[in-house]
Structure 1
Amino acid sequence: MWTSKQLREAFTGYFRKRGHEIIESSSVVPLDDDTLLFTNSGMVQFKSNLLGVKNKFSGVRRACSVQRCIRAGGKHNDLDDVGKDTYHHTFFEMMGNWSFGDYFKKEAIDYAWDFLVNILKISGDRLYATYFHDEASDVDPDTETKRLWSRYLPLSHIVKGSFRNNFWEMGDTGPCGPCSEIHFDRIGGRDASGLVNTDDPDVLEVWNLVFMQYNRTDSGMDKLRVPSIDTGIGFERLLSILNNVRSNYLTDLFVPLFEYIRNEGDLDEYKDTISGPSAGVDAGYRILADHSRTIAVCLHYGVVPSNEGRGYVLRRICRRAVRCAQETLGLKAGVLERLVEKAAGILGISLEESVLRAVSREEALFGRTLNRGIVLFKKLAAKGSTISGRDAFVLYDTYGFPLDLTKILAAENNATVDEEEFHRERERSRMLSREARRRPFSLPESSITTDDRYKYLENGIDAELLFQSEREGEVGCVFDKTCFYYECGGQVGDSGVITFYEDGVKVGVLAVADTQMISGNIFHIGKLDGRTAAAARLVFDSDRRDKIKKSHTGVHILYYFLRKTLLDEVIEQKGSLVEAGRLRFDFSCSRALGTEEIRDIEAKMNSLVDEDCSVEVEVVKFEGLDPSVTRNTNEEYPEYVRNVRVLWKNDTIQDLCGGVHVKRTSEIERIRIISETGVSLNTRRIVALTGEAAARAEEDARRLLEAGSAEGALPTIPLVERREIERIRDARAKALDEKRVKTIMEQLKRANELVLQLRTEALMADGKERPFVSFEYDGSCISTKDVRKQVRKVMDIFEKNGINGIAYCFVNGGVHLVLSQECGDVLERIRGCLDSTSVRTVDRFYICYGTVGTKEAFIAAVIK
């Protein structure tokens, strides 16, 4: 039997010997490729090579990899097919070899034949090859490939392939070329050429060889100067062929998962059927096993269940798995997390407990509504053969049912779902939700364009009031121009004072607490004293603005040093909040930061601050921008952008930013980190203070440390000092606890000795009258040595008083004292009840040691 490990090693070993560099699987989250939700083929990480773009693999001429891939969501989506057959998967592995301007068709075909036939010992009589030849296409037939295959296969096994099946294109433009597929006939001994590419389950594609020799442009197709090879093998499929089984699910990748599922639910064993009485349960096996693998891989690469993008695809997969486990297979809640952990082990993936908890949280979250949602669905299905889009949306919005899960339930009940209406309902709900969040005030009939360029230029301008609205005691005013900064890009909105004048006389003052952009209108929000008028004088709070500037430039410096310090992590900004004297920064990171790392980052930040570096802002064209400038890959930028540059002697820190900043870093004064926590899986949050707030925090910490105070609640102080104070507090608590424990142990020991003495004396008083007596007490707080001493003491008392008896104890359980009128064969009977024993003679006692299960026993018997 071929194992998955053997096949991986055979493939990579074969191509390593032939000069290929073995490339590790990239993440299932594509790097710098917004066109894909997930990595869906081995080619993805080499796309830049094929496009001729410089990248980390630019020097590689021959490559080989076993790439982890997910096809669930987006253009390539196998999610709906999993379970229905024995070969679809949402997660799979793709083996492949590549040539970037090195070898071409002949070598690619030779390698494929040699590996399959001579290394894996697959019968060549069962193999068929295709080549591109489509009369309906204007692309020339690939007769060269046909000729090359004729060296190994009879012409009856070389099949023409259409443009759809045998011509590969990256997109509407770019590299492209013919491909040649190798197909395997599971049955053999027949002419199966007519079954190639007909979705016959017994004639399946094994290997696809893509010959990239053309470049398609808007004007036509030209030959590439440097052609390339891109190949791909379905790992699970080839493994099934090597093991002579008709299903991808009957290999060591899935069978252990099936065994685990079966034992969890006391189910019938997996029969690998797609029809008949076992089909439903078998489909459940396949769905649950497949989805557990996909969940494990997603978690490994930092994807967590959420309501957006990849996270929502994972949430859908989790919920399908939960429904399958509980509804189809009747398993109890909690099985999914354990199954994901087992799947991870099979795949060689290590998942921390904190990561796995995301599965249990998702299972618990959906489990609370699953049963109620199923009840509602059954009522809806009983009404007719179509589930309305509105009802499907209720299931989605109220009970957490993804649309595809509702479609599965509908299909099982011979019903359909009105998907168009569902999408309309969802979009309507989103619009209402957005408006509810963004409309605290009534709005003008059409958006008012406010000239806000003054927010960067000056404080104190005259403006004209164009619109006002009231809500819950607050007034929101919109002007023709403003110097106030509205909340944007993580920076809070300005506060300040707006004075209204009528004929030169002050008639009212608006104390602005916040500035917000609402539906395209810049609202200045606050409490009004007096009344408004058309003429107004706008002045923002410059002291508060200066503190905000310090925090905003501080965020840029923090982000820079996180990237430069945590070199083992891919640090990306996940969110920020910039306030007066305080900043919050969320970033991607798989672990907590150590105290020394925080100390190092703080030291570097404050060194830069002290160097009094210049901070410049330049407005530049986004197109052609220096790639070293930090930007948010998920954000769309206008034609012209603001590039904020910190001119440090060692480097230039550059970020695209629309916020306000200091002119020199020395204005920041200090930056101190006060907390570093996790906000979600693989996302950390740093909160820091700047300027006066940071200085006050340092002073609080210094005072506490000098006073040696570690008691009571800690004020807001820097995290490094906080951890030192907490260490002192913990050390004191530990010392106190150890002292208390020692005292308690001594008290318990004395108490146990007293209890033993009193109970023994009581037994002595009536021992001769009672044929058998037993008592027990907790001996967990005394040592084995103490127990044995006490048993020996009891035996001495028995002997002195002429009592025939046995003292018997389980050391790690409790102590039992047994009295009997006749000892006789008691020792032998006790020995017969023990798993292992050893007997020795001490004075007039038989001393027997033994074990029962995992418990160690000690027995002393008198009267030889």
Structure 2
Amino acid sequence: MSLVDEKHEWNAAKVRDTFLNYFKEKHGHTFVPSSSVVPLSDPTLLFTNAGMNQYKSIFLGTVDPASDFATLKRAVNSQKCIRAGGKHNDLDDVGKDSYHHTFFEMLGNWSFGDYFKKETIGYSWELLTKVYGIDPKRLYVTYFEGSEGLEPDLEAKELWKSVGVPEDHILPGNMKDNFWEMGDQGPCGPCSELHYDLREPENGEYRNAASLVNADDPEVIEIWNNVFIQYNREPDRSLRPLPNKHIDTGMGFERLVCLLQKKKSNYDTDVFTPLFKVIQEITGAREYRGGFGKDDPDGIDTAYRVVADHVRLLTFAIADGGVPSNVGRGYVVRRVLRRGARYARKYFETEIGDFFSKIVPSLVEQMGTMFPEIKKKETEIKEYLNEEEISFAKSLDRGEHMFEKYANKAKKAGTNDLAGDDVWRLYDTYGFPVDLTKLMAEERGLNINDKEVEEAQERAREASKGDKKTAAALVKLDVHDLGALEGMTEVPKTDDTAKYGRENITSTIKAIYHGKKFHQSTKDVPEGEQFGVLLDKTNFYAEQGGQEYDTGRLLVDGEAEIQIDNVQVYGGYVLHTGFMKYGELNVGSQVICEYDELRRHPIRNNHTGTHVLNYALREVLGNDVDQKGSLVAPEKLRFDFSHKSAITDAQLAEIEKISTAYIRQNSEVYAKDVPLATAKEIRGLRAVFGETYPDPVRVVSVGVPVDELLNDVKNPDWEKVSIEFCGGTHVKQTGEIKELVVIEESGIAKGIRRIVAVTGQDAYNVQREASEFEEELTRLQSLPFSAEKESRAKKTQLTLNQLSVSALSKNKLRDQFAKITKSILDEQKAAAKTENKRVLDAVTSYFEKNEGAKVLVQKVDWSNNVSKAISEVIKTVSGPKGSLREKSVYLVSASQEEGKVVHGCYVAEHFSTQGASGPEWAGHVAKTIGGKAGGKAGAPTAVGQGTKADKVDEGIEEARKWIEKFKL
């Protein structure tokens, strides 16, 4: 029986369910669905690379106190993970060994300040040996041996012994293997791994595999890691203890399935074999045999593994918004797709264009129940994959051809290194990611010098680099500060409910923060240095939910004032940061809180405007529009959303029309905190997919009281109301917004559009600018054709490109300007035609009046088109059908103001047989008028430009003298 047809007692779904149920039902863990594999809210990560990523705020103590996570003590889940970039990158190993994957599931259980080492070690051993029935003799465990001044984790060692692990199966591990860190900074701690010996016993006896643990032996693999989170890695690389101790475990789902199905490779299990079956059906390739290295001479087994792995990453990344692009995580997705497409083409000899999309339905059938998002986005995923494949297919042949050329060049040069410039060019021109080129180079026995590639990249990007201004770092609270605050009973979490009001309030200073310390007085802060202030209550808005922070001041009238430049919230503590303007304030001081209304006012307009815009987008583009990000600033609002195509002018006009109508209804804006479960039931409510909301959640409704919504949550009328979860500040009535004008609509990634809009006075300003610019175009259009009109048109083009007006207005203005440009071009052509005729008529007229003349040397009046006219006339005279072909002509024109001279000549056959030529004639004259004359040696014609306009008469005389040397 082939691998793809095998049936298993422990099939993949059963393995996963057993893990989840063990912790949910037996040990009281809460099931938490996998977070998005694209951590949009965490810019420090390219992708979610471990199960603990979504709990980072809990470990750091910055969790929103109103969210579900604030009370979470025990959790279990299967987390989608990608390791294909950044610190954790397994891309290069995929396909080459039996256990590395770019996409994988991480089974995990967590304790947040609840149980610790004893319990988790007991759970791990019981689940593996009792529930899954794994033979304990095949399991090995590790503990941290100590390093960087940290003591060895002998506690873990003793706990493993207490559950029955033999001492020779308990092994010390170094910092690399037994001290887990998520990244360069953040929560971390010692860990204990569980390893499994895949080899079957011989004659009933197991070998002792202790020496093969963490030795990259494919038959002794790590399956589970228990991390004891108790430190934070600081920016200076030091370790500081966390306020609470946590458990973070991660077990490779694919590896667990592998050992339970008694395989030596993850790829031999039913996690992957259904995909192999589809790949074989699509390509007609031989069956998958599970060979590695020398046992896979044709590379087809490796290709099966690469393609199956990559389609998993692509499907889950795109489903979660990680669409292919040229930057960041989007570029990683594109790299993976191109790598996989090249494997498919080279080893399966299949056409690419719709290859991956044919595999997706099998993956959706296999995993769509556990991860419904891939089922929901299946069509969209396939569309992205097809578009990306088709795009790459266009350059793949040419790129491979160029690679061969570069490879041969390297071989001829006697080196095994591809030139860095060539590697970069393969990326820049043909879209070959460097790691794909590296893979191709390995196939040819060649290397890539990464430093050379980086240098080539820097040279290529030198022009786009700009100076970056540095600024003082913002004062922030970290996990240790928050831990200290938790112990300071006199410093409560900040009551910020007043931020929704519009009045100044009086508050009490509860803490002053500077230099990683809390102080009693601002006099402890050095003059001119930034510091932070915590109050018992505030009316300042701390930056969150896309809305920018407030600025303003804290003051005691006439005695002291703190200038507030930034406001941020950390785990419920609102930190106001700024500088002391004058005086002195202490903990306990009563201060007036005065936010900057001039800044807040347009922010309010723009935030409610964002809600109105979101509503209008759904009305015009459909309910599949999902918010992907937003920015609410004083000068603009920015809204990113999912939509497959550019918005047409007609759609944009309708969006503005609906928005304007909503605004002009002067609808009242209502807001109320509602239990989360109830709020989610409101029909027509718009929420951000994947966002975690507090409970209760604030519901903002434009036009209908929230209580009315709650009285009949399923009322279809609510589809026609803007209803959203939102913690931001809003206008009281939409009339305050005045206007909403879209100034930009663009695509920022595949399937993601961005609208930038302005409201209020800014909206009026852009409308005024558009009107003024339209008047300027009308004036330009009415000007008669002249050099001035051409010059003004060029300046107008630059202004138009930089103009900040309505997107619809800009399109209209561009159309109007295009007509003006065409009219100028038509006038230029007409003027050139007139000028050509003028110069040609002067030549023709001379020879008509002087029938026996053989030569004309003449000065022509200057004009903008005279240079082209002289060239065209010389071509006409020298042409095979020219009536003046037997005449020799020299034409010169000059502008004293511009200091320019243009000239051209034709030597008739009568003179050329005597040794005369156009370049010689023009070259002789150029000695007098400056510049150079061009023309092929011996040719009858030549044209040139000079620089000495004041010598033009002398030049004409020299032209006559030169031609007179020959017999007439």
- Structure 1 position 354, deviation (Å): 3.6
Matches of 1:306 and 1:220, distance apart in 2: 36
- Three-state SS of the structure 2 residue aligned to 1:150 is helix
In structure 2, the CA distance between the partners of 1:591 and 1:125, relative to structure 1 (3 Å rule), is: same
Secondary structure at the counterpart of residue 96 of structure 2: coil
* Aligned residues of 2:63 and 2:70 also touching (Cα < 8 A): yes
Identical positions, percent: 42
Q: Determine whether 1:395 maps to 2:412.
A: no
Q: Give the aligned partner of residue 20 of structure 1.
A: 29
Instruction: Read off the aligned partner of 1:368 and give its amino acid letter.
Output: K
- TM-score if structure 2 supplies the norm length? 0.51
Per-residue deviation, residues 62-89 of structure 1 (Å, max 9, x unmatched):
0001000000111111111111112111
* Structure 1 counterpart SS, 2:289: coil
Q: Aligned pair 1:79/2:79, yes or no?
A: no
Q: CA deviation at 1:584?
A: 9.4
Cα displacement (A) at 1:285: 0.8
Q: How big is the shift at 1:96?
A: 0.5
The match for 2:406 is 380
Shift in Å at residue 427 of structure 1?
A: 2.4
Shift of 1:420: 2.0
Tell me how far apart the structure 2 counterparts of residues 382 and 107 of structure 1 sit (CA, whole Å).
Answer: 61
Shift of residue 609, structure 1, vs aligned partner: 8.2
Cα deviations across residues 632-660 of structure 1 (Å, max 9, x unaligned)?
Answer: xxxxxxxxxxxxxx9xx9999669xxxxx
Q: CA deviation at 1:346?
A: 2.3
Query: Residues 293 and 344 of structure 1 are in contact (CA less than 8 Å); yes or no, is this contact kept in structure 2?
Result: no
How has the CA–CA distance of structure 1 residues 584 and 161 changed in structure 2, closer, same or farther, with 3 Å as cutoff?
closer
The equivalences for 1:723-742 within 5 A come to none
Task: Tell me the distance in 2 between the aligned counterparts of 1:73 and 1:422.
Answer: 18
Q: Which residue of 2 aligns with 1:353?
A: 379
Runs of at least 5 residues in structure 2 that lack an aligned partner in the other structure: 1-7, 369-373, 470-600, 670-701, 707-725, 769-805, 809-968
What residue in structure 2 maps to residue 146 of structure 1? 157
Asked if the contact 2:32–2:76 (Cα under 8 Å) also holds between the matched residues in 1, the reply is yes
| 1:241 maps to which of 246, 256, 259 | 259
Deviation for aligned residue 1:606:
3.6
Selected match of 1:336 from 356, 362, 370: 356
- Which residue of the partner structure matches residue 332 of structure 2? 313
Match of 2:250 in 1: 232
CA distance in 2, matches of 1:219, 1:386: 36
Q: What code does the residue aligned with 1:240 have?
A: C
Q: Is 1:185 matched up with 2:197?
A: yes
What's the counterpart of residue 106 of structure 1?
A: 118
8 Å CA contact retained: 2:79, 2:106:
yes
1:226 partner SS: strand
Q: Counterpart of 2:301?
A: 282
1:846 aligned residue: none
Match of 1:683 among 742, 749, 752: 752
Moved more, 387-396 or 602-611: 602-611
Pairwise CA distance, 1:414: 0.5
Shift of 1:223: 5.1
Partner of 1:41: 50
Instruction: Quote the residue 1:815 is aligned against.
Output: none
Q: Distance in 2 between matches of 1:410 and 1:416?
A: 6
Q: TM-score scaled by structure 1? A: 0.56
Aligned residue type for 1:26: S
The residue identity in structure 2 corresponding to 1:130 is T
Task: Give the Å deviation of 1:561.
Answer: 4.3
Is the 1:610–1:669 Cα contact (8 Å) retained in structure 2?
A: no
Q: CA shift at 1:355, angstroms?
A: 3.6
Report which structure shows greater RCO (CA 8 Å, sep ≥6).
2
| Alpha-carbon distance change, 61 to 166 in structure 1, aligned in 2, over 3 angstroms | same
- Unaligned 5+ segments in structure 1 are 439-446, 448-549, 612-645, 656-661, 696-715, 719-864
Counting only pairs closer than 5 Å after superposition, residues 179-578 of structure 1 correspond to structure 2 as: 179-187=191-199, 188=201, 189-214=206-231, 224-276=242-294, 278-279=296-297, 280-333=299-352, 334-348=354-368, 349-350=374-375, 351-383=377-409, 384=411, 385-432=416-463, 556-561=607-612, 571-573=627-629
What is the CA–CA distance in structure 2 between the aligned matches of 1:193 and 1:679, rounded to whole Å? Answer: 52
Within 1, Cα distance between the matches of 2:263 and 2:29? 31
Give, in angstroms, the shift of residue 120 of structure 1: 0.7
Equivalents in 1 of 2:93, 2:52: separation in Å? 23
- What letter is aligned with 1:160? P
Question: Quick one: structure 1 residues 675 and 133, their matched pair in 2 at CA, closer, same or farther if it must change by over 3 Å?
Answer: closer
Give the Cα separation in 2 of the matches to 1:552 and 1:293: 42
Distance across 1 between alignment mates of 2:55 and 2:33: 12
Cα distance change on mapping 1:417 and 1:93 into 2, 3 Å: same
Change (3 A) 1:585 1:213: closer
Letter of the 1:415 partner, please give it.
Answer: L
Q: What's the CA shift for 1:344?
A: 3.4
Q: Secondary structure at the match of 2:230?
A: strand
Q: 2:813 corresponds to which residue?
A: none
Amino acid in the other structure paired with 2:450:
E
Q: Tell me the residue number matched to 2:140.
A: 128
CA deviations over 1:372-429 (Å, ceiling 9, x no partner)? 1111111221222221011112211111111111111111100112322222222222
- Quote the residue 2:800 is aligned against: none
Q: 1:157 aligns with which of 166, 169, 173?
A: 169
Is structure 2 residue 186 aligned with structure 1 residue 168?
no
Quick one: distance in 1 between partners of 2:343 and 2:752?
30
Structural mapping, 1:625-636, within 5 Å = none
d(CA) in 2 for partners of 1:31, 1:577: 20
Deviations 1:803-844 (A, max 9, x none): xxxxxxxxxxxxxxxxxxxxxxxxxxxxxxxxxxxxxxxxxx
Question: SS at 1:181's partner residue?
Answer: strand
Give the 3-state SS of the residue equivalent to 1:177 in structure 2: strand
Is the contact made by 1:62 and 1:97 (CA closer than 8 Å) also made in structure 2? Answer: yes
Report SS of the residue matched to 2:31. Answer: strand
- Residues 181-234 of structure 1 deviation map (CA, whole Å, 9 limit, x = unaligned): 111111241111111111111111111111123456679756555311110000
Aligned to 2:13: 5
Is this contact kept in 1: 2:663–2:738, CA < 8 A?
no
| 1:766-805 aligned within 5 A | none
Q: Match of 1:7, as an amino acid? A: V
> Does the 8 Å CA contact 1:396/1:403 hold for their aligned counterparts?
yes
Residues 97-146 of structure 1: CA deviation (Å, up to 9, x unaligned): 00111111111011111111111111111111111224x55211212111
Q: CA shift at 1:591, angstroms?
A: 8.5
